[in-house]
Structure 1
């Protein structure tokens, strides 16, 4: 299985690294493919793509089965479905990995019903506010297949951007160094 893990990685945290490691160690893993969102993605305080790419490269250097796709770097954002269809030309089969914090927004994604029908979603259970049963019930009217992976580590890249004092707990030292050297996330 090829696991596609998309996100802003703004910045990549120790928890992102742990998720990458977890996916790499699944019995059926062929590749873990990371897709950082492009610069035109509508998200506040998004560091430039080239910086997020460089930080991700530092995070994955010890994982031989992990690659970074730059598929969303230059193009206007056309949605996850288009990105996965493009990747599927070279990597089959694909599953798409998201954090459970994205579940509520999923119905608003571009072509969400087609996306849910076409691909298995691997849900990283970061947040236990909604039970698996509640989420499955919420999506019962849409054909889908969810695979659940429990995860108990805080991912908050927002905290890493906004709270310099907490960065050491959330980010690897080389990522902190990169942020400081490139003067990222200054408000």
Structure 2
């Protein structure tokens, strides 16, 4: 009986050790399908897991939507975001391997076109309004919350919602920046 209990305890300790070992897959690539469908934005992310709680990564977005361009040209919006680079740091709020919540702090380097209507006076002293386009670049910071679900050890899904603010060129760039998406990823 003592041998049976000793074997059971050793097996239990071995099983717990297997559960507490970190995932050997430390890298993940993701594609944001929500942004691709809703706004024709190509969004790709890379994440590196440092330990069970922390990870770092970056996200790159490019926009080439004809609808967004048409809205910009017709005057419905005054900004046309074209690219965005977002480095981030994440902390796991829950300790599950297959599902967990996380908090994120991110930076943003973004740019695009800005359009404004300006009042001008010609050489005959006639006043008129003209549309003036210019390029902008800005940087900002923000925070996000998210949820990860792994279907297997390698394939998973991520839901992310976060907001931040631009700092430097706010007269031309959007005041607020967002990180909202549903990404499908591969962990290797």
Q: Compare relative contact order (CA 8 Å, sep 6+) and give the higher one, 1 or 2.
A: 1
Q: Decide which structure has greater strand share.
A: 2
TM normalised by structure 2 equals: 0.24
Q: Decide which structure has greater helix share.
A: 1
TM normalised by structure 1 equals: 0.24
State the structure with more CA Rg. Answer: 2
